[in-house]
Amino acid sequence: MDLPQPSTETLEFKIADNVSAMLAYWDKDLICRFANAAYLEWFGMSQHEMINKMTLPELLGPLYDQNLPYITGALNGRAQVFEKEIPLPQGKSKRYALANYYPEIENGEVKGFYVHMADISPIKKLEKKLQKSNAKVKKQNNRLLNFANIVSHNLKSYSGNIESLLKLYENADSDKEKAEIWTYLKSLSSEFSSTVADLNAIVKLKNQKEISFTDLSLNQFIERAKNILRVEIKESKATIKNRVDEGTTIKANPAYLESILLNILSNSLKYRNPEKPLEIELSSDFKKQQSVLSIKDNGLGIDLKKYGKDLFGMYKTFHGNADAQGIGLFITKYQVEAMGGEISVESEVKRGTTFNITFRG
């Protein structure tokens, strides 16, 4: 006895209704002729509302124009594959779908197109999580690089000055000269202790999302930087004019501010013009509720037309000095921006350079 065979159409519909993918068919007039359960659920529709009644523009609403290039492509006989962010009914957040439009072509004529949509929201959620993790790792790496540079640059300045002062002490011709050098060493030792304390504060804050800020005397930190660089200033016979108003305070991180001043002043000393005495001038202004520090020198200057876009890049050097590492200005910009500020530069070859640093209010 022959057993009755199930209806092919019924079986196909049952299979379509029980797969997780969203399936539908739209004819060339953009009227829905078929939609499986997953497709209907996605859009919050019933078969009665959708099949043989609803048009694609009605279903998609404002999203129709975004999908129109793909719809047009399918109706022109070309398969379409794309990702879409689709809002759920009643504004219940959004989901992401990977959509495929397959044209139905009969005797060279496009009758309509099949839709296959897969919910890739979990993948997108994981992707965003990975992007967030990568951004966090990148931020942590930048902090580590920044901290390493502060330690390297700031402590190198101290060690170089201490070494030079000790040599001067050994070669001093009088007790008076030795006493003066000893006073410098004691002052440098005190500044070194302050720097170590600031670095230690950064270490303690390494797991916090935001760096710490405090009201700082700008003049106090300028004098501190000058004291750290005392030997280099003396050897280069530089004249430093501090025109920052007394009592000027800024909201900043102590270790960052010291590093910024040391980096810029060190650059001025390193890239001085051998044809004239070096002059460095520091001044301050208050614009739009923000403090602006300007550090101007009459050194070699930089060709901004040639190097401007690379000025704050990592490992970028511009004067061919053997000891140039190309990291100082990169870190300086990072530190200024990490404190919510901005840094800009004006420069002319053989005329000098001015750095303008804006601190957040």
| CATH code of the domain containing 272 | 3.30.565.10
Collect all residues with Cβ–Cβ distance below 8 Å to 337 and sequence separation of at least 6. 343
pLDDT the model gives residue 4: 42
**CA 81, 82, 83, 86 torsion: positive or negative?**
negative
Residue 135 in domain: no
CB 297 within 8 A of CB 278: yes
- Could you tell me if 74 and 196 lie in one domain? no
- Could you tell me if 216 and 68 lie in one domain? no
Q: What is the mean pLDDT of residues 162-191?
A: 83
- Could you tell me if 299 and 182 lie in one domain? yes
Residue 125 in domain: no
- Could you tell me if 69 and 155 lie in one domain? no
d(CA 217, CA 202): 19
**64: domain range?**
8-119
- Could you tell me if 321 and 205 lie in one domain? yes
The proportion of the chain whose per-residue pLDDT surpasses 90, expressed as a percent, equals 40
| Cβ-based burial of 219 (10 A; exposed 0-12, middle 13-18, buried ≥19) | middle
Residue 311 in domain: yes
- Could you tell me if 61 and 206 lie in one domain? no
Q: What is the mean pLDDT of residues 285-299?
A: 91
Identify which has the larger pLDDT, 97 or 238.
238
- Could you tell me if 168 and 290 lie in one domain? yes
Return the minimum-mean-pLDDT range out of 34-48, 205-219, 227-241: 205-219
Q: What is the mean pLDDT of residues 229-235?
A: 89
Q: Return the SS3 of 223.
A: helix
Residue 286 in domain: yes
Residue 207 in domain: yes
* Residue 348 region by backbone torsions, left for phi larger than 0, else alpha for psi between -120 and 50, else beta: beta
Is residue 92 very low, low, confident or very high in pLDDT (cuts 50, 70, 90)?
A: low
Q: How many domains does the chain have?
A: 2
pLDDT the model gives residue 308: 67
- Could you tell me if 52 and 83 lie in one domain? yes
Residue 131 in domain: no
Return the minimum-mean-pLDDT range out of 42-51, 72-81, 319-328: 319-328
- Could you tell me if 110 and 187 lie in one domain? no
Mean pLDDT of all residues belonging to the chain: 82
pLDDT the model gives residue 127: 84
Residue 177 in domain: yes
- Could you tell me if 338 and 208 lie in one domain? yes
DSSP-derived letter for residue 361 is -
d(CA 68, CA 258): 57
3-class secondary structure per residue, 311-349: CCCCCCCCCCCCCCCCCHHHHHHHHHHHCCCEEEEEEEC
Q: Which of 119, 153, 182 is the endpoint of a domain?
A: 119
- Could you tell me if 289 and 154 lie in one domain? yes
DSSP-derived letter for residue 31 is B
Q: What is the mean pLDDT of residues 131-141?
A: 79
Is the pLDDT at 342 greater than 80? The verdict is yes
Q: Which of 119, 151, 166 is the endpoint of a domain?
A: 119
Reported as a single tens digit per residue, the pLDDT across 63-89 is 899 899 999 999 999 999 998 876 665
pLDDT the model gives residue 7: 42
Output the domain CATH number for residue 112.
Answer: 3.30.450.20
d(CA 243, CA 292): 13
Is residue 122 very low, low, confident or very high in pLDDT (cuts 50, 70, 90)?
A: confident
Q: Which of 119, 154, 182 is the endpoint of a domain?
A: 119
pLDDT the model gives residue 130: 86
H-type alpha helices, the chain: 8-17, 37-43, 47-50, 56-60, 64-75, 121-170, 175-204, 218-228, 230-236, 254-270, 304-307, 328-338
Q: Which residue in the block uniquely carries the two structure tokens 């209907």? A: 40
- Could you tell me if 176 and 92 lie in one domain? no
Residue 206 in domain: yes
Tokens of 160: 């170089």
